[in-house]
Amino acid sequence: MAEKTIRIRAELSGDVTDVKALINHTMETGLRKDAKTGETIPAHFIQEVTCEVNGKQNFTAQWGVAISKNPYLSYQFKGGKKGDKIKISWVDNKGDKDSEEGQVQ
């Protein structure tokens, strides 16, 4: 996976850090059929997204096929500060994975 699949934005406002992530992923449900062949397109979707702050697990999202294509995720936590390292990783049902790091702004 040469291209980056994750875009992270983490912003501190007051004492709350808001983490936003956009992930490029097909999120195939396994219910759709190929328009030409009529064959079912196999499910291919992200199952788990984890977020680490300064190396410590901070948030976990477990997803099914109902999460939209090119998923968007946002969550918030208290106790963060500017410069904190945010690492977001995902793994899908085929074992593909990627991770990306960002900083709290």
CA dist 83 to 20, 31, 105, Å? Answer: 16, 43, 6
| 90 part of the interface to another protein, by CB under 8 A | no
> Least distance to another protein from the beta carbon of 1, Å?
20
> Least distance to another protein from the beta carbon of 4, Å?
20
Q: Which residue among 6, 58, 90, 104 contacts another protein (CB under 8 A)? A: 58
CA dist 6 to 37, 74, 89, Å? Answer: 32, 13, 8
Closest listed residue to residue 103, CA positions, set 14, 17, 23, 16: 17
Footprint on this chain of another protein (rule: CB under 8 A)? 16, 29, 31-33, 35, 41, 47-48, 51, 56-69, 71-80
